[in-house]
Amino acid sequence: MLLQHPCEGADAQAAEANPSFQLKCHPTSLIDIWQLHCGTRVTMRPVLPQDSALLGELIGRLSSNSRRNRFHAAVNRLSAAQLRQMSCVDYQQHMALVITTAKHGQEQVIAEARYFVDEPGQGGIAQFAIMVDDRWQRRGLGARAMHTLVKAASAAGLSRLRGEVLAYNQPMLALMQHCQFDCTPDEWDDSLVHTQIDLNRPRVHPAVPKRARWLSWLGKLQKSTFTQSAVFHA
């Protein structure tokens, strides 16, 4: 997912200038704590200003393929200003979630998901993006983050979430189908697939998929038009 927008709007500018503003608006209802099958305890929460360095570390740990999937470009690192923009959000026009765990007593961000409203107004439309640390992929983090992001967007009154996925990124396309996004190949660029979900459409909320179901979906996708090797595993 591309999505590398700066913070925009009065609230977002206030958040970047004064982190205490962001704390007042922090949507604690989105906090989620659970235990993975391996026994590791993880926490999903809305991003905070002090997460900029942790987000930079996450991006630095990603493989080159995972960074390309996230930014659609050969990105090695982001500037301090760009990381501040990622961590200073208003939770309205720009929502960001991080999934964290503890390593040697220190918090570590292992995944993030966000949306940014690019068509504001009543029933606005937002772009989304997601990335998961390579070492933490295939554990359901991406699915859980996307379900929460969709929930937050719907609660915010948005009408649609949309994004672009590289066509060879089969696991991400499987995740989109699992989250009930429509996936449409680009008419002119066969390297891109457009994904979107109508937030006003009634949806069934399936459980986070188990590994066996992931493999089944990937097998079906390998027989579809998206037949190149997969490099992102949510």
Structure tokens at 31: 């906090």
Q: Return left, alpha or beta for 157; rule: phi > 0 is left, psi -120 to 50 is alpha, else beta.
A: left
The whole-angstrom distance between residue 96's C-alpha and the CA centroid of its chain comes to: 8
pLDDT at 5: 46
pLDDT band for position 123 (cuts 50, 70, 90): confident
- In the block, residue with structure tokens 């391996």: 38
The single-letter code of the amino acid at 186 is D
- For residues 112 and 76, the model is more confident at 112
Backbone angles phi, psi at 208, to 5 degrees: -60, 130
pTM for the predicted model, two decimal places: 0.79
Residue 154: count of CB within 10 angstroms of its CB? 15
Nearest C-alpha neighbor of 128 from the set 173, 95, 79: 95
Residue 172 scores a pLDDT above 50: yes
pLDDT at 204: 61
Q: Tens digits of per-residue pLDDT, 2-56?
A: 454 444 444 445 555 555 555 657 889 999 999 999 999 999 999 999 999 999 9
Identify the sign of the CA torsion 32, 22, 127, 229.
negative
- In the block, residue with structure tokens 């590289």: 166
pLDDT band for position 227 (cuts 50, 70, 90): very low
What DSSP line would sit under 113-127, residue for residue? EEEEEEE-STT-EEE
Residue 210 scores a pLDDT above 50: no
Least confident of 3-12, 35-44, 127-136, 190-199: 3-12
Looking at every residue in the chain, the average pLDDT score rounds to 82
Task: Return the half-sphere exposure (C-beta side, CA atoms, 13 A cut-off) of residue 183.
Answer: 22
Nearest C-alpha neighbor of 72 from the set 189, 226, 217, 220: 189
Q: Show the domains of the chain with their CATH numbers.
A: 10-222 (3.40.630.30)
Backbone angles phi, psi at 92, to 5 degrees: -125, -70
